[in-house]
C-alpha cells in the first residue's frame, strides 16, 4: 500500500469535516467500503500522514491568504499609505512607507514602540504611518479619540507615546496624559467625539478588514502584511522594499 500516503492526505482533507450533501445519502458500494477499510487501516498504522496533510493544507491556505492580502493592499495602497488624516513620523518624503495598525491597550503594540522609534531613527528613508485601530475595549477607543483630538492641537506624538507607555490605561490615565502634555482636555474630547473622528475610525476599521488586518499590531510594507510584533519580519520587508525601489 505504498501508494496510499499522498492519496490519503489529499482525499481525507478534501472531504467535508462535518455536514451533509446529496452524495452522502448514497449507500456505499462494496468497493467503496473496501477502500475505506484500507484507508482506515493505513491511518491507524501511520497517523503521521494526517499531520503532514494538515500542515500542507495550512501552508496552502496561508499562501492563498497572503496572495489575497497582497492584491487587496495593492488595490488600496493610497488609502493605506496616504490618508492625510493619519499621523506620520520619520521622513515625510521617504521612499519606504511602513504602516502600523495599533491599539493603545495592546501589550504587544507597547512592546514594539521602542523598536519602532529605533527603526525610524536609523532609517532616514522611512516614512512611518500610525493608524488608530482600537479593537480591544471601549477604553481603547476613547484613547484613540483622545489622540485624534490632541493631533488637532499639534500634540499627537507626545500623547501617543505617553498612552503607549501607560501600563494601566483607563479614563483617568487618558485625562492625566492629555493634561500633562498641555492639551486642552475639553476641546480634545469634543474633537475626538466629532463626526470627523467617527468617520476616520470607521474607515480605518473597514480598510483593515478588507486588507486582511485582524489584530494589533499589524504592519504593512508595500504589499506585505505582517501580523504581530515581529520586528525582524518588518526589518526584512523594509530591506526587500528598498531593493525593489
* 134-147 pLDDT per residue, tens: 999 999 999 999 99
For residues 218 and 101, is the Cβ–Cβ distance under 8 A? yes
CA distances to 60, 65, 180, 193, 237 from 153, in Å: 48, 40, 14, 15, 34
Peptide bond preceding 203: is omega within 30 degrees of 0, i.e. cis? no
Residue for grid cell 499522498: 6
Percent of the chain with pLDDT over 70: 84
* 183-211 pLDDT per residue, tens: 999 999 999 999 999 999 999 999 999 99
Q: Which three cell numbers stand for residue 83?
A: 490618508
Task: Give buried/exposed letters for 195-208 (b at 16+ CB in 10 A, else e).
Answer: eebeebbeebbebb
Strand order across the beta sheet in which 218-221 lies:
87-90, 126-132, 96-102, 218-221, 224-227
Tell me, what's the pLDDT at 53? 73
Per-residue pLDDT of the chain (245 residues; tens, 9 = 90+): 444 444 444 444 444 444 554 454 556 677 778 887 887 888 888 778 777 777 776 777 666 666 666 777 888 899 999 999 999 999 999 999 999 999 999 999 999 999 999 999 999 999 999 999 999 999 999 999 999 999 999 999 999 999 999 999 999 999 999 999 999 999 999 999 999 999 999 999 999 999 999 999 999 999 999 999 999 999 999 999 999 87
At the fourth CATH level, which superfamily is domain 77-244?
Glutaredoxin (3.40.30.10)
CA distance linking residue 122 with residue 231, whole number of Å: 14
How is the chain split into domains, by residue range? 4-75, 77-244
CA distances to 108, 154, 176, 215 from 147, in Å: 19, 10, 13, 20
CA distances to 47, 75, 235 from 232, in Å: 35, 26, 5
Best CA proximity match to 200, nearest among 139, 143, 140, 131: 131
Q: What is the pTM of this model?
A: 0.73
CA 96 to chain centre: 19
Amino acid at each position: 500500500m505504498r501508494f496510499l500516503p499522498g492519496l490519503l492526505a489529499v482525499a481525507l482533507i478534501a472531504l467535508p469535516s462535518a455536514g451533509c450533501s446529496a452524495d452522502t445519502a448514497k449507500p456505499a458500494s462494496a468497493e467503496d467500503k473496501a477502500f475505506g477499510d484500507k484507508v482506515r487501516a493505513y491511518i491507524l498504522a501511520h497517523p503521521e500522514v494526517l499531520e503532514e496533510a494538515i500542515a500542507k493544507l495550512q501552508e496552502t491556505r496561508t499562501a492563498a491568504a497572503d496572495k489575497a492580502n497582497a492584491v487587496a493592499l495593492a488595490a488600496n495602497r493610497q488609502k493605506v499609505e496616504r490618508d492625510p488624516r493619519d499621523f506620520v513620523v520619520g521622513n515625510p518624503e521617504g521612499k519606504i512607507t511602513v504602516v502600523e495598525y495599533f491599539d493603545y491597550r495592546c501589550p504587544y503594540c507597547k512592546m514594539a514602540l521602542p523598536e519602532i522609534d529605533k527603526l525610524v531613527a536609523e532609517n532616514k528613508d522611512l516614512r512611518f504611518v500610525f493608524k488608530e485601530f482600537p479593537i480591544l475595549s471601549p477604553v481603547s477607543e476613547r484613547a484613540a479619540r483622545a489622540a485624534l483630538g490632541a493631533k488637532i492641537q499639534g500634540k499627537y506624538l507626545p500623547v501617543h507615546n505617553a498612552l503607549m507607555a501607560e501600563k494601566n490605561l483607563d479614563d483617568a490615565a487618558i485625562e492625566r496624559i492629555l493634561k500633562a502634555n498641555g492639551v486642552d482636555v475639553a476641546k480634545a474630547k469634543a474633537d475626538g467625539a466629532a463626526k470627523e473622528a467617527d468617520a476616520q475610525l470607521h474607515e480605518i476599521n473597514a480598510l483593515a478588514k478588507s486588507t486582511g488586518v485582524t489584530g494589533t499590531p499589524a504592519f504593512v510594507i508595500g504589499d506585505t502584511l505582517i501580523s504581530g510584533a515581529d520586528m525582524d519580519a518588518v526589518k526584512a520587508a523594509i530591506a526587500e522594499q528598498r531593493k525593489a525601489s
